């Protein structure tokens, strides 16, 4: 049902498609751990266009394609003609003639949408300023592993900047029936249109979406506490100013104390210890946070297989 489609936003996936991705990710993870081959993309090539830095996304997509029997090409905008002004709509049509799928990490979300409009191969959003769907789907898999398969009714509290992770987690929570609360400074609240769409999705699953400014109100009795950097890629010049604005939004022992006793802490990484999360909290949840990093591999393999396999 996902074959040939794009994956630009979790909002565009059905509730069933989200479940299918997570189920297959769990299956592929088990197969990989058991040493069972799963070369369902033999002979296929994924293009990986990066206009921003990456550790996890690049390595997990590239390794994932290899494990699925295919290959991946790292295409930096410094090397592609796109970096010298070749239009996206031309690049999309050219690359569609060589590749079987493409993943893109860029700034404006509209660039990924334009690429997908002109490409006739599956296009995967590997992070834009607006959304980071592969990471949020990975987070759902990680929550399943630590909290059980049924995510309905869990409270997820996001604390920090209302950014691409907040938006994708909001969609992810809405598709799986979770209660999502984001605490951000008023001027850094999540996008209103994303919230509206997440609330639409929430009607189908019984999820709820709330936006607050008090981190303690968000964290109270939470099953999952999540944060992300206070200065995303492209906001480096604002980093010092943001450190002051976001100081009350740190995940530390005091905030954790109001969450559920069995709460887990998540972070998509890279983490800036002493800013959005303290070193002690980060280290005491290292098992969850590095499972989360590992799960990028398994979740993206599921996405690649569903979109690209014959």
Q: Which residues are catalytic?
A: 105, 132, 135, 228, 268, 296
Q: Is 232 annotated as a binding residue?
A: yes
Please pick, from the candidates 80, 245, 269, 309, the single residue that binds ligand CP as defined by CB under 6 A. Answer: 269
268 binds ligand NVA per the rule CB under 6 A: yes
Whole-number minimum distance, CB 229 to ligand NVA, in Å?
Answer: 5
CA atoms within 13 A on the CB side of 158: 34
Q: Is 39 annotated as a binding residue?
A: no
Cα separation, 138 vs 296, whole angstroms: 6
Query: Nearest-CA neighbor of 159 among 288, 52, 73, 247?
Result: 247
Cα separation, 122 vs 165, whole angstroms: 22
Backbone φ/ψ region at 70: left (φ over 0), alpha (ψ -120 to 50), beta: beta
103 binds ligand CP per the rule CB under 6 A: no
Closest CB to ligand CP among residues 55, 150: 55
232 binds, among ligand NVA, ligand CP, none (CB under 5 to 8 A by kind): ligand NVA
55 binds, among ligand NVA, ligand CP, none (CB under 5 to 8 A by kind): ligand CP
Cα separation, 91 vs 192, whole angstroms: 32
Please pick, from the candidates 9, 26, 164, 295, the single residue that binds ligand NVA as defined by CB under 6 A. Answer: 164
How many chain residues touch ligand CP (CB under 6 A)? 8
Q: Is 57 annotated as a binding residue?
A: yes
| CA dist 307 → 46, 123, 131, 282 (Å) | 11, 9, 19, 34
By beta-carbon distance, which residue lies closest to ligand NVA? 232
Query: Nearest-CA neighbor of 168 among 202, 143, 133?
Result: 133
Q: Which positions lie near ligand NVA, rule CB under 6 A? A: 127, 132, 163-165, 228-229, 232-233, 268
């Amino acid at each position: 049902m996902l074959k040939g489609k794009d994956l630009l936003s979790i909002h565009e996936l059905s509730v069933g498609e989200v479940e299918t991705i997570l189920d297959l990710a769990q299956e592929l993870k088990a197969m990989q751990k058991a040493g069972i081959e799963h070369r369902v993309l033999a002979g296929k090539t994924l293009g990986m266009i990066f206009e921003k830095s990456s550790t996890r996304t690049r390595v997990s997509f590239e390794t994932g394609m290899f494990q699925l029997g295919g290959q991946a090409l790292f295409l930096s905008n410094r090397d592609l003609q796109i970096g010298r002004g070749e239009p996206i709509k031309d690049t999309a049509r050219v690359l569609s003639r060589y590749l079987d799928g493409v993943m893109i990490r860029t700034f404006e979300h509209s660039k990924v949408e334009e690429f997908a409009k002109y490409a006739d191969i599956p296009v995967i959003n590997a992070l834009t300023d607006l959304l980071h769907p592969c990471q949020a789907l990975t987070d759902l898999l990680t929550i399943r592993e630590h909290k059980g398969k049924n995510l309905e009714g869990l409270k997820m509290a996001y604390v920090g900047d209302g950014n691409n992770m907040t938006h994708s987690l909001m969609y992810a929570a809405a598709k799986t029936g979770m209660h999502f609360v984001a605490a951000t400074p008023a001027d850094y609240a999540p996008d209103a249109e994303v919230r509206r769409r997440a609330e639409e999705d929430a009607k189908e699953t019984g999820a709820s979406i709330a936006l607050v400014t008090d981190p303690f109100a968000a964290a109270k009795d939470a099953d999952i506490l999540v944060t992300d950097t206070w200065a995303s890629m492209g906001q480096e010049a604002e980093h010092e100013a943001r450190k002051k604005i976001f100081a009350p939004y740190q995940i530390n022992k005091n905030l954790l104390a109001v969450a559920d006793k069995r709460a887990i802490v998540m972070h998509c990484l890279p983490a800036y210890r002493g800013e959005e999360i303290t070193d002690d909290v980060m280290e005491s949840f290292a098992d969850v946070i590095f499972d989360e990093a590992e799960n990028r591999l398994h979740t993206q393999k599921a996405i690649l297989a569903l979109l690209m396999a014959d």
